[in-house]
Amino acid sequence: MSGQANSRDVVRRDDGTWAVTKPGSDRASAVAGTQAEAIQRGSQILANDGGGELRIHGTDGRVRDQRTVSPGNDPYPPKG
């Protein structure tokens, strides 16, 4: 890991669907039919993964919003 904060991007794909991607990853973490669904799924993924930044891209590909997602209820929190 490069020390970069945990983050995901919500981006529009060529076929019109919306993907939740992790920087540096070749595959989408999730794919949704609408941007709203992708934002919701991306927030869930980040919450389950200890929180982080969710960057939401517009149809032009530029970041239009960024949200900080708090850690969710981890049933196995780290000890110490």
List pLDDT tens digits, range 17-75: 999 999 999 999 999 999 999 999 999 999 999 999 999 999 999 999 999 999 876 55
What HEC string does 18-41 produce?
EEEECCCCCCEEEEECCHHHHHHH
Whether pTM exceeds 0.85: no
Model confidence band, residue 77 (pLDDT cutoffs 50, 70, 90): low
